[in-house]
Amino acid sequence: MLDIKLIRQNPDLVAEQLQKKKFTLNTAEFLTLDAARKQAEADSQSLQAERKQASKKIGELVKQGTPVEEAKKTVNETLAKIETQLEALKQKAQQASDALHNLMMEIPNIPDDDVPAGDDENANKEILSWGKPKKIDFEVRDHVDIGTELGGLDFDLASKLTGSRFAVMSGGMARLHRALTQFMLNTHIVDHGYSEIHVPFIVNAESLRGTGQLPKFADDLFKLEGEQNYYLIPTAEVPVTNIARDRIFEAKEFADGLHFVCHTPCFRSEAGSYGRDTRGMIRQHQFEKVELVKMVRPDQSSDELEKLTLHAEAILQQLELPYRKVILCGGDLGFSALKTYDLEVWLPGQQKYREISSCSNMGDFQARRMMARWRNPETNKPELLHTINGSGLAVGRTLVAVLENYQTADGRVEVPEVLKPYMGGISVL
């Protein structure tokens, strides 16, 4: 959530900045609601002062010769009218406040200054490329054909068990998927210094509001039926980031920030994406990710985004998978992000680079929604912290990249060198 003071002070500037995200801020509605809330509160305070004065009039009326009971009756009638007016003003102020809050919850984060302008992914700018796609001198197959022919990927069975956009993995394929997960976790814990954390795969609505999935992206979520207001997590970012909700971290425990790595399944309804990537494992309703989440001091967040992105890149480099790094333009930037780098891995089966990780700095946007704070030792006052997250990596898409980049002419798949210790000596699928 944006700082409401920022919009109050310069609504036109904020509206201009949000245009970079192709979002139109209704400044007139904001100013009207804010003014209505202020006026209702001012009127309420005026009536409270009037009530205070009215309660003193009994003695004055008695001094003027009015009988005590008559004086009480007169004053009580006045107080009753004031109470009725106060209740109406209270409801009016609450309605305006609720409407203003709902409007604020729909406003996205302001893009960073170095985010390029653009309408969609076609305007994203390449920062670097790493590795060169292998020259394959035989007919290239995609991961669906490779996995099906090896007997380790079964989409028909998954469709029978559940429906479309699911997969069943078995044998060496399932083991390779698990090996990738363990390799990612170990690398981020041992080499990059993250603390592993295990969280629930089900969260409440408040957690989703905290990270920005609700209310705007309700259609992309799987909501559970029942008495509780529960949802399946769309990413580990939600439960891990909400660790900081309604909390103040003392300066000593927050000196270097909090750095977490978490492996979870992720569940997304993919509303609005029907017809896109329906083949294979690129866009599924259930998939797994190794997520990196950082909560840091505001003066650290820019550098920490760079570090987190490098940590995700390190996985691709050790797997020797060609990739490129792009900075997202305003029109492609996520709701909560002020800056995002996408890592796109080369897929021979598609002859293109495809996203495998998004690494984003959210600034204090999520922290303000969650009231996540740290105590600044210089002022000894609580301040909003900054949140950063990124995939390190999406396990299913990494499996896709390994299958396609390590395929051989005879239909097999070589196991990347760094994964062999996790494969129990298996070097080829």
Using one digit for the tens of pLDDT, what is the confidence trace for 294-318?
Answer: 999 999 999 999 999 999 999 999 9
417 is in an annotated binding site: no
- Please determine, for residue 156, whether its predicted confidence score (pLDDT) is greater than 70: yes
Average pLDDT over residues 52-62: 71
55 is in an annotated binding site: no
Average pLDDT over residues 82-105: 89
247 is in an annotated binding site: no
206 is in an annotated binding site: no
273 is in an annotated binding site: no
Looking at the DSSP bridge assignments, the partners of residue 394 are: 289
pLDDT of residue 225: 94
- Please determine, for residue 202, whether its predicted confidence score (pLDDT) is greater than 90: yes
pLDDT of residue 272: 56
Q: Round the average pLDDT of the chain to a whole number and report it.
A: 94
Using alpha carbons, list the distances in angstroms from residue 67 to 60, 78, 81. 11, 17, 22
237 is in an annotated binding site: yes
175 is in an annotated binding site: no
270 is in an annotated binding site: yes
126 is in an annotated binding site: no
**DSSP states along 375-412:** EETTTTEEEE-EEEEEEEEEHHHHHHHHHHHSB-TTS-
211 is in an annotated binding site: no
pLDDT of residue 59: 65
269 is in an annotated binding site: yes
Cis peptide leading into residue 393 (ω within 30°): yes
291 is in an annotated binding site: yes
pLDDT of residue 297: 97
Entry pTM: 0.92
pLDDT of residue 425: 85
What does DSSP assign to residue 250? -
Cα separation, 252 vs 376, in Å, equals 10
Contact 120, 332 (CB under 8 A): yes
pLDDT of residue 78: 83
Across the chain, how many H-helices and E-strands are there? Answer: 13, 15
195 is in an annotated binding site: no
